[in-house]
Structure 1
């Protein structure tokens, strides 16, 4: 398996190159980054040490630990799952098999929410928000960490997921401003809220089989699948919007890369008006619209 002697003379740089090559051989595009993250976490060392000492000797125990981690990645388990954490919006979040692995795309939602609340209500506004289907809590915790004057409520159907969110809230010192509720979507939650956010499931059932193994085999299906057309979760959320969004409030949702037009229409049918989504601020790095910004239609209020 390992093509160098397992002895103290084996260097960190040697292992790093071997790991990169083996990851590339099975078609993992992020091989260099993945190998480096495994090395740093496996040795509990900062990147600066590896840069300064590329030939740092590894003992047999360290190599065994690194090889065990690498074997999991070669089997297409995500690096974040192996490490047990994911960096999101500049902070480290604990994850486990009960929660969705946070995606960089979701940072667009957080950035949009922060900016739009500041623009809409003013930067000093003590926003009260609801995060529906919080999972790891990455959205709610990030909002609270960025805005010390805000308070939030976050829901999830899974008590295990809420335990993860609770731990992340404590880690980032926002637990006293976050209420966690175990419910399906927002059933029974008392509004209204200035802001409602969610990254709900939006994968159509038939598309699940086409997902990368890192997603299909390691993210909880309940956090991915949303019925035949991928819109079931949005129907639930839109149906409850009138009792959740305060007059003049906002709803900001993450959406699939091709769902904007259909969701604009679906939202309108429930009395929600979508803002223009050709604006760059609503797009991910690939240029796909990732955020739906909605307001209650005043004419229906």
Structure 2
């Protein structure tokens, strides 16, 4: 990348470079990364556009654009991602929080809950958000990845819910004790033969164990559904995020587990995104 004298020239050159590299929305990324290099809010970039870039900012910006051009995600370069109005620290050890997961949050918050379990918590965005939005609730989050547990713990501290959040390394329910009136999960649901279709950003920079079960993409749901009755309180609710073609299979697993009131929630793009159920059958007794 050349060394333009002004911020506006630097952004234009960066956007052109990212566009040539096939990066989606290159102008947005060029703007966000300049803000990060200059250590200002993105909304202030227009204010510095006519100004000369200090050499140290230009150097940082060059490094960021070079990494983005080889498809390192913006969230990993800036170290955070926004989710449900809050900023969460992220890294290559966890999935990026995604806006479609916010429909799970909305549905879960439709009724009060006192105790929540997040299975496969990753960055902690679901558990932390639910606790932040429900100040009297407590919760447990589990993940097989020790690195993910550390990242989630940091986000719990960041958003001041750590006194109400317990985080454990666990293979699904293996270390979980007790019952919960809300259980949530965004498990790995991409089938192994679908992995090659993912973007370079996802396939190359997000943890494979959080993306796929190495099989048909339904393995986690089978395990979760089988053990749900032991841990879901009477009248308790469960919400699981799914891939857009998995609603029928996941619904069947929950029915077979004895849960009722099965519903499928669509995301803003009209795709099946969350399956929810309630424990009000024989398992609730």
Q: Normalising to structure 1: TM-score of the pair? A: 0.90
Tell me the CA shift for residue 101 of structure 1: 1.2
In the alignment, the residues of structure 2 paired with residue 136 and residue 85 of structure 1 have an alpha-carbon distance, to the nearest angstrom, of: 10
Query: Cα distance, 1:300 vs. partner?
Result: 5.1
Give me the whole-angstrom Cα distance separating, in 1, the residues matched to 2:42 and 2:92: 27
For 2:170 and 2:241, locate their aligned partners in 1 and report how far apart those are by CA, in whole Å: 20
Pick aligned residue for 1:294 from 261, 277, 280: 277
- Cα shift at 1:62: 1.2
**Which of 73, 80, 83 does residue 78 from structure 2 map onto?**
83
Are residue 191 (structure 1) and residue 178 (structure 2) matched?
yes
CA distance in 1: counterparts of 2:134 and 2:72, whole angstroms:
34
Counterparts of 1:254 and 1:262, CA distance in 2: 13
| C-alpha distance in 2 between matches for 1:29 and 1:222 | 25
Distance in 1 (CA, whole Å) between partners of 2:53 and 2:173 is 51
The CA deviation at 1:286 is 1.4
Give the TM-score of the pair, scaled to structure 2.
Answer: 0.95
Measure the CA separation in 2 of the matches of 1:49 and 1:68.
21
Which residue number in structure 2 is paired with residue 26 of structure 1?
A: 21
The reply to whether residue 112 of structure 1 matches residue 107 of structure 2 is yes
1:76-104 alpha-carbon deviations (Å, 9 max, x no partner): 11100111111111111111121111111
In 2, are the aligned partners of 1:13 and 1:54 still within 8 Å (CA)?
A: yes
Question: How many angstroms apart in 1 are the aligned matches of 2:38 and 2:262?
Answer: 48
TM superposition shift of 1:59: 2.0
Query: In 1, distance between residues paired with 2:15 and 2:47?
Result: 19
Q: Which residue of 1 aligns with 2:196?
A: 209
Which segments of 5 or more consecutive residues in structure 1 lack a partner in the other structure?
A: 119-124
Contact persistence 2:238–2:276 (CA under 8 A): yes
CA contact (8 A) 1:133 1:185 kept: yes
User: For residue 39 of structure 2, what is the aligned residue in structure 1?
Assistant: 44
CA distance in 2, matches of 1:176, 1:142: 14
Residues 1:196 and 1:256: Cα distance change in structure 2 (over 3 Å): same
Give how far 1:48 is off.
Answer: 4.1
| 1:139 matched residue in structure 2 | 126
| Contact 1:113/1:252, CA 8 A, preserved across alignment | yes
Q: In the alignment, what sits opposite 1:182?
A: 169
CA distance in 2 between counterparts of 1:237 and 1:37 reads: 38
Structure 2 unaligned spans of 5+: none
Kindly tell me the number of residue pairs found equivalent between the two proteins: 284
Tell me, yes or no, if the aligned pair for 1:94 and 1:168 is still in contact at 8 Å: yes
CA distance in 2 between counterparts of 1:274 and 1:79 reads 40
5 Å matches for 1:244-263?
A: 244-263=231-250
CA change 1:47–1:192 in 2 (3 A) is same
- Aligned-pair Cα RMSD in Å: 1.4
